[in-house]
Amino acid sequence: MRRRDLLVLIALAPAAAPIAALAADGDKKKKSGGVSYIPIETLTGATTKPDGRRGVLTVEVGLDVPNAALRARTQAIMPRIRAAYVQTIMIYAAGLPPGSAPNADFLAAALQRETDRALGQAGARLLLGAILVN
């Protein structure tokens, strides 16, 4: 490659940076739900498969918070809420008997309890998505 071509690329690099930043911001958009929906990244916990090997329990959740003030508080303490969820999922997955299906009702109740405890009040509704054992 010739040096002149490299100089042109170096000169155009600052102009390309804002375009890359706009593309990155577009990826962080909310993918589903309405204004009151807060998506949460997938939660995982280690479990045991029937053959004795390690498995993974995967749970997808989100929160529906219609109150704007409570939604702002929820987003502010989201790391604390997510940590409580992960701890609950890890404890549940570790005690799950090999080959048995997870109890969705128990998980929903436990995660809702953690939500209310972290927020200090009721008002945020836990929405349970897929529960997979792999």
Q: What number of other Cβ atoms are within 10 A of residue 36's Cβ?
A: 15
What are 33-73's pLDDT values in tens digits? 789 999 999 999 999 999 999 999 999 999 999 999 999 99
Rounded to an integer, what distance in angstroms lies between the CA atom of residue 82 and that of residue 62?
Answer: 11
| Within-domain flag for 17 | no
What are 4-30's pLDDT values in tens digits? 676 665 666 665 555 555 555 555 555
What are 27-44's pLDDT values in tens digits? 555 567 789 999 999 999
Q: What is the CATH number of the domain that holds 93?
A: 3.30.479
| Within-domain flag for 58 | yes
Task: Tell me the pTM.
Answer: 0.75
Using CB atoms within 10 A of its CB, is residue 18 exposed (0-12), middle (13-18) or buried (19+)?
exposed
Give the structural domain span for 109: 37-133
| Within-domain flag for 42 | yes
Rounded to an integer, what distance in angstroms lies between the CA atom of residue 52 and that of residue 72?
Answer: 44
Tally of structural domains, the chain: 1
What are 93-133's pLDDT values in tens digits? 999 999 899 999 999 999 999 999 999 999 999 999 999 99
| Within-domain flag for 77 | yes
End-to-end Cα separation, the chain, in angstroms: 49
| Within-domain flag for 21 | no
Q: What number of other Cβ atoms are within 10 A of residue 107's Cβ?
A: 22
